[in-house]
A and B are shown apart, each in its own frame.
Chain A
Amino acid sequence: MSPSVRLQELIRVIRSARTQCEERGVIQRECAAIREQFRQNDNGGRSHNLAKLLYVHMLGYPAHFGQMECVRLIASPRYSEKRIGYLGAMMLLDEKQDASLLITNSIKNDLSHSSQYVQSLALCTLACMGSAEMCRDLAPEIERLLKASNSYIKKKATLCAVHIIRKVPELGEMFTPSAHSLLSEKNHGVLHGAVVLITELCERNTQTLDNFRKVAVPELVQIMKGLVMSGYSPEHNVAGISDPFLQVRILRLLRILGRNNDRASDAMNDLLAQVATNTDSTKTAGSAVLYETVLTVMDIRSESGLRVSHPPNGEALNVPYISMTSLLKIVQTDHNAVQRHRGTIVDCLKDQDASVQRRALELSLALVSSVNIRSLMKELLLFLSTCPPELRAHAASGIFIAAEKYAPSQRWHIDTILHVLTTAGSDVRDETVPNLIQLITSASELHCYTVHKLYRALVTDISQQPLVQVACWCIGEYGDLLLKGDCEETEPVQVTEDDVLDALETVLQSHMSSPATRAFALTATMKLSTRITENVDRIRSIVSIYGSCIDVELQQRAVEYNALFRKYDHMRAAVLERMPVIDKGQTNGEIQAPPNLLDLLGGVCPAPGDVTVSLLASNSTDSDITSFSLQAAVPKVGSTSYPTTTKPCSTTNESPHQGSFCQDTAQIDSFPTTAWS
């Protein structure tokens, strides 16, 4: 057995490997040696070997064979071995591995070890990778440590309790009594942990929240005042701010306690004003406190006089991002105040920084109103053409929603949507095409204008599928208007029947067209047969070619259209006549515009319509059926889980004999409302 290379030597050797292959070779040899030594239970070098293995693991190589060694090292009495064993456990083990359960007993023993540093290792590991079972097992131990120990252990036990509550929320009740008493500690570490613990408890349980609201607010205000007004404290000072970490956590807890509660909010008002005035925000630490103060002031019901007007300074590059994040919070309550900054926000749309652009986009969409829609939309459309690709879908859907809500005229609305489709057509959502078609049918005076614009767009570029689909549909529907040539709203252009059919055929044959697009084009071609006069034969030949197309959908359509030409020619005009205006209410139920523009995906909620279910069953048992019941399961909209509610809706008392059929129909029109949330 070759003598094992010490850790730093190994690192040096690996780093000096000139190629990836050489590095792999070194590591494989070393791992083989380590595996061998693990098997032999070599007492001297165990922690060396695990340390080497952890380094190799960080480089990305497999290290699962070290898991049992971690378990063994943790159980060792030597501190150095425990230390590296626990580190290995945190890196290699997680709750999915079986080996993690094996260390529960070691952790339990170490939690009552005489040395606080061993206790701290155990606490840290539990807080990092403790599974729900481990947390349940060890919670009583943690609670004991919370009460009776020195502040070093107390602060760690507190954060361990936070982790336990995150894993097993029911255990929150166990820690609630001790949490309050921890607030009277002087040690900042314990205090910080206590605030985090109380925050976690309040976020999960409204009863606890109410209790803490009554008792904790005055204490927290007192502590905060002490931090803000006290003199220089060298131990906790960061750039002139006394313990910004603790200040920010306290502000966050106050925000949760003061939300929707006037009494608690009143108790904090003075304090928040004091913090806002006294905090020096030229460095990041001060800005962080001020930022949190702004968020808190916005969330609680504070007096309108307490509006933080000076923006956070700090590092110049972060100022736009942080200011806009604060404004996003403000815009929900005080819309007009933010409108004043519209110019700056619009400028930020053109910033180089993608994060700043994202915030500016969200703010701009929130600022859209019927007053500024035209000017703001110009900026947004300009942004859409130059924005980074990850923001395009967000921008496109935001623009659609804004346009739908505030469109000053139907023509403007159609123009805007067309602009978006030509600029960012591949990034729009699927519902855009039917929505746009519905919009076009309802704007009957604009059919001529719309079809001309769409034709021009189609001829220029057929790569954006949604645009091509809408254009094909319109040309099919309103082709006669296109061929008439004259249109008041746009300059006249002579379009012959051949041009139109050429355009549609190009779409049909292009490799860029998706199957759905080609289906649109084929149907449009067919519709034109009743709208044009001279080239009906050309249409017949196009349609018959697709009768042998590989795509089954297209083939079916082509065959049916062919039949329309041959056997049912007398019906053709009636079948292909212009469609009536589509009523939005009939498509998929009522679609309410989302109340909050920032909540782009959360607001659309189709209401249930009537559903009819028919059941046809045959009796294949030996005896008669006396009754059967029909149950309908309702899947939750928008969720990937399976049916979650069932609604038994009818029973029948027919008694069909063996071999006979029975049938029932049920109307389901009263779904539980939760099914649609």
Chain B
Amino acid sequence: MMRFLLLFSRQGKLRLQKWFTPLPERERKKIVRDMTTLVLARKPRTCNFLHWKDLKIVYKRYASLYFCCALEEQENELLALEILHRYVELLDKYFGNVCELDIIFNFEKAYFILDEFLMGGEVQETSKQSIANSIEASDMLQETMEEYMSKPAF
């Protein structure tokens, strides 16, 4: 399973964090610090895989954001690259030409999309269209409820 998934900028600012195992707050902060240090120190023409403690770290840079996830020993690293890519495609479809600012200002939506794609560290749904439909329906449910209650969303 995937242990955690982090998104951070080139300056090391955290944009999204998803933890699939229970860890105390202090431990999480330390891991985020370690990951940003390790990944940002990688030279440009190196492979996407790292070793850290007993986990395999897979990272990929998309424009100004680094997508970084930690896998257990028996996981397939190349598939993890595909998972990261699929998540980026989902964000792109939802926001339309997604950029870092979209994720900053709509972080809760990024989490909702992630929760439709991954669950408990495993892939939940392998069809892009299906996930897009679910997100749309949930948003619709939120809006109609809001309209009905005549109160704005966030």
Contact = CB atoms under 8 A, between A and B. Distances in A.
Contacts of A244: 79, 82
Interface string A90-107: 000011100000000000
B3 to A, nearest CB: 12
Contacts of B123: 192, 245
Interface stretch (B39-47, B63-71, B91-99): B39-47
Interface in A1-37: 6-8, 11, 15
Given A58-B17, A238-B82, A245-B126, A83 B154 contact: no
A245 B78 contact: no
Given A318-B48, A355-B50, A236 B126 contact: yes
A80 B68 CA distance: 29
Interface residues of B, number: 57
B34 interface: no
B22 A96 contact: yes
A358 B51 contact: yes
A7 to B, nearest CB: 5
Nearest to B29: A60
Given A78-B149, A238-B82, A292-B76, A83 B142 contact: yes
Contacts of A162: 120, 122
A353 B47 contact: yes
Contacts of B85: 284
A159 B124 CA distance: 7
Given A79-B142, A245-B79, A155 B124 contact: yes
A322 interface: yes
A7 B108 CA distance: 11
Contacts of A123: 119
Nearest to A95: B22
Contact of B124 (A87, A189, A238): A189
A601 interface: no
Contacts of B149: 78
B154 A47 contact: yes
Nearest to A77: B145
B20 interface: yes
Contacts of B122: 159, 162, 193, 196
A80 B47 contact: no
Interface string B92-134: 0000000000001101100110010001101111111110001
B133 to A, nearest CB: 10
Contact of A163 (B104, B120, B145): B120
Interface in A244-294: 244-246, 248, 252, 284-285, 287-288, 291-292
B154 A159 contact: no
Interface stretch (A124-132, A218-226, A498-506): A124-132
A19 to B, nearest CB: 15
B88 interface: no
A638 interface: no
Interface stretch (A48-56, A484-492, A520-528): A48-56
Given A245-B123, A358-B51, A80 B134 contact: no
A128 B127 contact: no
B35 to A, nearest CB: 14
A189 B47 contact: no
For A55, A131, A245, A292, which residue has the most chain B Cβ atoms within 10 angstroms?
A245
B105 A314 contact: no
Contacts of B24: 96
Given A128-B20, A189-B124, A288-B78, A317 B46 contact: yes
B146 A80 contact: yes
Contact of B112 (A15, A59, A83, A292): A83
A188 interface: yes
A348 to B, nearest CB: 11
A356 B49 CA distance: 9
Nearest to A351: B46
Given A162-B120, A163-B120, A235-B127, A245 B83 contact: yes
Contacts of B128: 235
A464 B133 CA distance: 64
A117 B108 contact: no
A284 B76 CA distance: 12
For B83, B107, B154, which residue has the most chain A Cβ atoms within 10 angstroms?
B154
A355 B38 CA distance: 12
Contacts of B105: 8, 11
B51 to A, nearest CB: 6
Contacts of A47: 153-154
Nearest to A322: B78
Nearest to A241: B82
A6 B154 contact: yes
Interface in B2-32: 14-17, 20, 22-24, 29
Contact of B76 (A117, A129, A238, A288): A288
Interface in A444-490: none
Given A124-B115, A159-B124, A193-B124, A84 B76 contact: no
A431 to B, nearest CB: 23
B55 interface: no
A427 interface: no
A115 interface: yes
Interface in B54-89: 74, 76-79, 81-83, 85-86
A291 B108 contact: no
A124 B29 CA distance: 23
B7 to A, nearest CB: 10
B135 to A, nearest CB: 10
Contacts of B141: 79, 115, 117
A536 B85 CA distance: 75
B57 to A, nearest CB: 9
10 contacts: A51-B108, A83-B142, A115-B141, A160-B120, A188-B125, A189-B124, A193-B122, A288-B78, A295-B76, A314-B78
